[in-house]
Amino acid sequence: MNQPSKKASVIVIFGATGDLAKRKLFPSLYNLYCKGELEEDFAVVGVARRKLSNEEFRSRVHDAVIDTACMDKDDKHKQFSDHFFYQPFDVTKSESYQDLKALTESLDTEFNIPGNRIFYMAMAPEFFGTIALNLDAEGLIEGDGWNRLVIEKPFGHNFSSAQKLNDEIRQVFSEDEIYRIDHYLGKEMVQNIEAIRFANALFEPLWNNRYISNIQITSSETVGVENRGGYYEKSGALRDMVQNHMLQMVSLLAMEPPASLSTEEIRSEKVKVLRALRAVIPEEVSKYFVRGQYDAGEVNGTHLQGYREEENVDEASNTETFVGAKLMIDNFRWAGVPFYIRTGKRMTSKSTKIVIEFKDMPMNLYKEQSGKLGPNLLVIHIQPEEGMTLHLNAKDTGDMRKTTPIQLNFNNKQENYINSPEAYERLLHDVMRGDATNFTRWDEVALSWKFIDPISIAWANEKEPTFPNYASGLMGPQASDDLLEKDGFHWWPLPENK
């Protein structure tokens, strides 16, 4: 028998009939299989309450991967789906776990897998602790191989609930076995932040408060809450986006150079940033944070309904669909430099980008001749474009004393898009390899919640009288623009609603 690969494993997906598995997990696994990153020594067990046969489940897997790039290559999809198995499951019943144990052990033999297990929680977080405790009680993690637990957000809804969940999981799994997934950390240009900073002598010496005036992170969506009104009423944009995705990007942008590119060194530097975030007391929330809620609007001739008109949303809802904020990092490198973030639904465009704005030179010879010069900006495009743009000033053609703005562009989509893996594909591969660099450690989660909780409490205790306060199709409420204008800045590019 051939020696199994280091990635050989049985992957158990809890919630395998859900939207996440269909849209992200199955296609990502299939792409890994097509590229040879996933060899024949793997099996996937889908579990959910619904009763399905193996054949019905495999048909669902086939439908989920039918549009992927290598669907036309021989019978690859048939070979791939033969690795998938299904088991109806009740997370509260020991019989379900015993059946799962018997199935996974038989798959070890069939696919030459040395007892390695990946347990992927693609379901409601209230079941995470129950599943973890039962996996231990019923002997599913007692084999000779390794065990890895992958957890989707939200990891709790505040610090106390996150701590309770973590305590339950840690009774069974050690910290190095837990992979708290944040798909933003799998995006190509988010991972490129470290390379841009630490592989270029052009940037790292300038990456501090002597040369940078402010940093802006925008993550905007054109869609509303769609059919997730019930979930969104409990989370809002603050918990859904800021506590995880936005703060993770802030920590990557602001961290000190790690001693090495090892998992623990990078994570430890990110934690230092979160510790240095200036805490916002309830009385000062309005000074640093802005909330918004989208109203009805018209975009390209189409009428879009407001948040309070969405299904499963309170007609007098106090839930924010937009957050704008000014974050201050109180350490030697970043003292005095504001990090502005904004994220929301029903905005002008779907885009995630980072803008680093450099300070003006104290004496610029061209400023008197040209008037106001364009600022030097480094723009990192996360999605849908992938790349970066450097905004500079050059001599205007024909007049040696005047300047014109120019842009130096790198477009990753044009150069490498065909071979660029999707975020979930990259992160699933990392789990199989045992690389936790792009997953959040417990202390990162804890510090993020501790920072966010006072804002959540303040907003919950005070109804926002201006809601809804921005029309669908705009880049958020006017108060978001005012937040920057107080400091002499504005969002890049200039807001559509100015």
Q: Which residues are catalytic?
A: 245
Spatial CB neighbours of 187, under 8 Å, sequence gap ≥ 6:
352, 382, 383, 386, 423
CA distance 228 to 201: 45
CA distance 298 to 60: 37
- Kindly calculate the radius of gyration of the chain based on its CA atoms and give it in whole angstroms: 24
Parallel, antiparallel, or unpaired for β 338-344 and 351-358? Answer: unpaired
Cβ-contact 428, 28 below 8 angstroms: yes
Cβ-contact 404, 8 below 8 angstroms: no
Residue 103 burial (CB count, 10 A): 17
Q: What is the dihedral of CA 485, 492, 327, 359, to 10 degrees?
A: -80
Closest CA to 108 of 161, 145, 67, 81: 145
